Structure 1
Amino acid sequence: MSETMVYTCDICKKSKSKDDLARITVKADGIRMKNVGYSGIKIDICPECLKRKGFVVDFPENKEEQEQATLKNKATLEDKIYDFLVDMGVAFTE
């Protein structure tokens, strides 16, 4: 019997190959629900959605430019994490 696995970007909901998706895990320490730990939210996101959010997807070969891209991606993740949660419908609101 054969199996077909479908991989989907959590942001644009388009079907992608497994290797195309990046995984972002959002965890929270200290949240307990009836003595059960919270394992976090896993976000699978495709390169196109990452680019639209401002991430550098195609890393340059120059080491200095790679370091700059890494710093930019870190800052972008910190800035856009709420947007990811809103896109998935799991953001906290008051």
Structure 2
Amino acid sequence: MFDKVMSGIRGLVARRTGGGEGTPQAKVVRQRHPNLFEAAAEYVSACAENDQQGIEEASGWVSPEALSFGVNELACRAVIALARERDESPRSVARSLLGLPVA
């Protein structure tokens, strides 16, 4: 009876603490899921390098909507950084990057 109670207590403690050595929970490897900004960075980098496998992998990390938001945020930050570096407006930098005439 005492062994059953102690076993139950050990199991409860292991569940609340994420497992300890010797418990089945300790052997489970918890994978960290990339966030949308990591996915966007990997996706854009893979696109720039024409790495289809990298594109497909990063696309699977988050929903298409989240990836779109992350890519948009990355584009905004990149244009702002380039504009500051070049001492130009973000509009002229964005148009220049796309090969459009500066309006």
Q: TM-score, normalised by structure 2?
A: 0.25
Higher relative contact order (CA 8 A, sep 6+): 1
Select the structure of larger CA radius of gyration. 2
Q: 1 or 2, which has the higher strand percentage?
A: 1
Q: TM-score, normalised by structure 1?
A: 0.27
Q: 1 or 2, which has the higher helix percentage?
A: 2
